[in-house]
A and B are shown apart, each in its own frame.
Chain A
Amino acid sequence: MILLVGATLVALQAPAQGIDPRLERLDSITRPIVTALVDSARGAALPTEPLVQRALEGATKRAPADRIVAAVRRLAIDLGHARDALGPTASPTELGAAAAALRAGAHPATLTELRRIRRESLTVPLAVLTDLVGSGVPVDSAAAAVLSLAAKTRDADLVEFRRAVERDIALGAPPASATAAAAAVTAEATAVQVNAGARQQRPGRP
């Protein structure tokens, strides 16, 4: 309650830069506080859309005002930590995925290493990392697997790797073992394609 009052005082003092019309769905107590948090994030050059969406999620789920405010504030902090790990050039979607990965327990050093080794977008590798941890894979095992694949694996193959891990866990495999095994075969898939292509015909070749 004290937190809510304090946040309200801050909101009343901080000039709003224009209220997102979607936030009209929030009640009169929550709206100015969330608006102030969004403005503050904008001032810090953090993406604001995830914050707005988190507030809207709380509104749809009819969450109490203090929980909505706490959720938006926590996400703003996570986005800041994500940018510290990925650097200032990270895209908003990468920051959102990184924030989710950090919240799931990934180490900031893992995110920094991902940035270093992968040229393409980190959104899918980070999402896969978050999914693996959410499926019960130990954080270190999940991070090791994603890092081993991130440099050379396409987004679609990373998604397929995650599905393979999920299937194996559902079939009873220990999460860490399932992850290591799936990462190993994903990395080897190219070799099979090269060999099996020996007599592959082009489509439509008469």
Chain B
Amino acid sequence: MKILVCMKQVPQKDAPLKLNEAGTWIREDVSYEVNEPDAFALEEALRQKEKHKGEVVVVTAGPARASQVLREALAKGADRAIHLEDAAFVGLDAYNTARAIAAAIKDEKFDLIFTGLQSDDYGYAQTGVILAEILGWPHATIIMQIEKNDAGIRVKRELEAGFFQYVDVPLPAVLTIQSGINKLRYATLIGIKQAKTKPMRKVTLAEVQSAVGGNLQKIEKLYVPKKSKNTEFLEGPPAEVAKKLVERLKNELRVI
């Protein structure tokens, strides 16, 4: 099976984020990492390749720094990478991101495309499904298991409140992968070394520009949420904090 994995670089989970002066985006001087569900999507693609042979290709859209995500994926076992490289890709909405990726892979023939179920930055949870529509492929979302069969694949969809559902999907198809579908591997030293010689195709904004339109949703401003609650911060050494908290639990909240 030939599988494409869409990956995104996002700010590190516990990185302190600051707004830019215009209040429209974050300041870029933070540490980045791979979007967590995308790491699970890559792992699943590698496992499928180990079972059924084929090729794993990784793609990302973002500035030069985003190539780190691709290099890590190559080190873990992906065969080659595609980098839509331009800072402008960061500002695209989900529809345009999907259109740009579709344009970049128009000469490829994949059996499956995986994306993480959502990104930790925008949190749209849409790009994979939109990509399926643009390609005219079926899709299934929030996937926890994938089994190949004669007709295509059988996937396990996670529903809400602990429910699941198996769905038979013909190929080619797009799947959005849920965190926790598998156990992530680490890159080996040999893998890291081999990654340096694996192909990475760069795609400029100009090459996909004709496929991309103006954003249909506009971020007017970004800000720190207003507190809806009157939070009391308990301060002091641990023993003192614990005493204060128990006093509140007992006398204010009356739960002990």
A binds B: no
Which residues of B are at the interface with A, using a C-beta cutoff of 8 A?
none
